[in-house]
């Protein structure tokens, strides 16, 4: 879609005018949970979420939130406290998010597959004394009870969110259950936690505004070491309002396939909070398997499919009947670049199975509250990330400067507006690296991504300034992995690169140089692998280890990881 180079204001405003998108929006000065309560008042009988066929209306969802908020107060949670939520997409997980918000506390969102060391870091950096955890990873959290000074561990079983009969059937079939300590008052089962809510009869709904902190998420920042990203009520609420503004198919009663996890900014903002602010239903999928994709679609008939490229690779290889996708009105891809080949496959698959939808590409980052840009419905080319959200200005600057570049020139993508994070929690130095005041007097987030403004008025992504591997939509930071490998007594140096994978996009591979006197072998490889397993999540573990006498270097003495990447590509 060719656009004129001349346009008053930002060049992307021409797409706003064409698609009826406002340039600016008035955002309510309220909490996240207040937005959901407003939805419940408008659409009380609409389905808020579906969990393995068990449906809960907005009216009953708010009741669950209120009961959970009373339970939190009963166990001593105060305004400003941080509550760690270590959960997949289950009813208890999303209910807890809004209950924590209701009592004026802050949600500390962590990946259940994180290593024990990572969990310890996440809990300590947030100074969190309360944890909600799925039973499958309870043992990791319980081992941290003393070092992290935990006051309460609330344990959820996967069956807790099911209806009575389905719960009974599940518990009958799944006899093997995680054993919990019987003599530790710090540990409480979800059902007991909720039952004890009746002991609290005081105020449980604190008045909070848009500028108040609401959620902590984790990102690699500029260095790759985990950083706690602090997001406000306004950040998350603006995300939901902008999502709904950019996607015309957002209507009350529609349903979203909520596969992306709630501990991921894209998952919480786009797949949970946006639908719940608009009277839509979330189809909660706690553990996705491509083998179950066909059944999930047939049983739930979703209106929206939102995912990362690997999910759409799975979709186009799913066996469906010609009308199984009739319900699908919108398809959004984020988390990583979508290439033309996969885009064409997805669009053809949608059309051949009854849907008129065409896949759209979103771009965002945790520091920007999730998505910040979305491609127009009928426009696509390699690298396109599309039209900035209302009130979210984009600027392309020369690397390591604030100098804005003209259209067509590549530079660092910077964004400004209500989606920019509050900052990295208790880390002013790192915050100052990415959030800067430019000569225009505005606050700009330096994303670490390279892109350019196209002649058509759209934003394009070129490459990442910071080293990062994207695997199944998860960000993996090579420098963080390298620092752990290098801590092994036998390792002189190492570098980690991403190698192509047919399904995940990329996976990590480690190249290692040992100190004099050490010999490469299975023993050292096993020790390094075990060291990594204790410190990083499963999805970030290298799939291969290659020992070398030396690594290639650039003229200024840095490891030439691009040369290693080229070597691996030449092999494939």
Residues 511-551 have pLDDT tens digits of 999 988 899 999 999 999 999 999 888 889 999 999 999 88
Please, which pLDDT band fits residue 280 given cuts at 50, 70 and 90? very high
- Cα–Cα distance for residue pair 98/101, rounded to 1 Å: 5
Would you say residue 505 has pLDDT above 50?
A: yes
Rounded to an integer, the average pLDDT of 337-350 is 89
Rounded to an integer, the average pLDDT of 320-341 is 90
CA distances from 537 to 113, 223, 338, 534 (A): 6, 18, 25, 8
Do residues 384 and 334 touch, judged by C-beta distance below 8 A?
no
Would you say residue 316 has pLDDT above 70?
A: yes
Would you say residue 5 has pLDDT above 50?
A: no
Rounded to an integer, the average pLDDT of 133-152 is 95
pLDDT in the model for residue 336: 76
pLDDT in the model for residue 383: 85
pLDDT in tens, 93-104: 999 999 999 999
pLDDT in the model for residue 271: 96
**Pairwise pLDDT comparison (12 vs 7), residue with the higher score:** 12
- Maximum CA pair distance of the chain? 72
pLDDT in the model for residue 39: 98
What's the pTM?
0.87
- Cα–Cα distance for residue pair 541/218, rounded to 1 Å: 18
Domains and CATH numbers, the chain: 58-227 (3.40.50.980), 469-571 (3.30.300.30)
- Cα–Cα distance for residue pair 246/19, rounded to 1 Å: 9
- Cα–Cα distance for residue pair 101/99, rounded to 1 Å: 5
Rounded to an integer, the average pLDDT of 186-196 is 95
Please, which pLDDT band fits residue 158 given cuts at 50, 70 and 90? confident
DSSP 102-117: HTT-EEEE--TTS-HH
């Amino acid at each position: 879609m060719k656009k004129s180079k001349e346009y008053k204001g930002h060049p992307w405003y021409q797409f706003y005018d064409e698609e009826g998108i406002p340039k600016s929006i008035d955002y309510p000065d309220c909490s996240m949970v207040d937005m959901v309560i407003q939805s419940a008042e408008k659409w009380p009988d609409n389905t808020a979420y579906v969990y393995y066929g068990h449906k809960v209306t907005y009216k009953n969802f708010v009741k669950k939130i209120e009961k959970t908020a009373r339970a939190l107060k009963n166990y001593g949670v105060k305004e400003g406290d941080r509550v760690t939520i270590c959960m997949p997409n289950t009813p208890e997980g999303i209910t807890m998010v809004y209950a924590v918000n209701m009592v004026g506390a802050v949600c500390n969102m962590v990946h259940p597959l994180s290593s024990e060391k990572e969990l310890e870091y996440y809990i300590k950096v947030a100074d969190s004394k309360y944890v909600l955890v799925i039973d499958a990873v309870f043992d990791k959290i319980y081992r941290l009870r003393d070092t992290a000074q935990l006051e309460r561990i609330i344990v959820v079983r996967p069956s807790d969110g099911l209806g009575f009969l389905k719960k009974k059937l599940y518990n009958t079939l799944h006899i093997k259950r995680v054993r919990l300590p019987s003599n530790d008052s710090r540990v409480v089962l979800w059902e007991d936690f909720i039952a004890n809510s009746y002991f609290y009869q005081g105020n449980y709904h604190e008045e909070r505004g848009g500028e108040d902190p609401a959620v902590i998420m984790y990102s690699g920042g500029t260095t790759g070491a985990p950083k706690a990203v602090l997001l406000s009520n306004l950040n998350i609420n603006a995300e939901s309002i902008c999502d709904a503004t950019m996607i015309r198919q957002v209507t009350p009663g529609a349903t979203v396939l909520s596969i992306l996890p709630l501990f991921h900014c894209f998952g919480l903002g786009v797949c949970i909070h946006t639908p719940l602010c608009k009277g839509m239903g979330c189809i909660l999928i706690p553990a996705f398997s491509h083998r179950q994709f066909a059944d999930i679609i047939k049983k739930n008939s979703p209106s929206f499919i939102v995912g990362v490229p690997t999910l759409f690779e799975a979709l186009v290889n799913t066996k469906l009947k010609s009308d199984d996708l009739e319900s699908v009105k919108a398809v959004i891809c984020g988390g990583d670049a979508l290439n033309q080949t996969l885009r064409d496959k997805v669009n053809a698959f949608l059309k051949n199975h009854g849907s008129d939808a065409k896949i759209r590409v979103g771009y965002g980052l945790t520091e920007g509250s999730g998505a910040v840009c979305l491609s127009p419905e009928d426009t696509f080319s390699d690298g396109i990330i599309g039209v900035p959200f209302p009130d979210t200005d984009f600027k392309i600057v020369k690397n390591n400067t604030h100098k804005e570049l003209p259209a067509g020139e590549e530079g660092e993508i910077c964004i400004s507006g209500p989606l920019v994070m509050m900052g990295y929690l208790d880390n002013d130095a790192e915050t100052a690296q990415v959030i800067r005041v430019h000569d225009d007097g505005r606050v700009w987030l330096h994303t670490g991504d390279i892109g350019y403004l196209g002649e058509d008025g759209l934003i394009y992504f070129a490459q990442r300034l910071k080293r990062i591997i994207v695997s199944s939509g998860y960000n993996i930071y090579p420098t963080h992995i390298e620092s752990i490998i290098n801590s092994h007594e036998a390792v002189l140096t190492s570098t980690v690169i991403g190698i192509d994978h047919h399904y995940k996009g990329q996976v990590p591979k480690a190249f290692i140089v040992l100190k004099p006197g050490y010999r490469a072998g299975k023993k050292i490889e096993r020790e390094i692998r075990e060291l990594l397993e204790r410190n990083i999540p499963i999805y970030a573990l290298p799939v291969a280890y290659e020992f070398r006498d030396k690594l290639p270097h650039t003229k200024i003495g840095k490891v030439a990881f691009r040369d290693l990447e080229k070597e691996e590509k030449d092999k494939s």
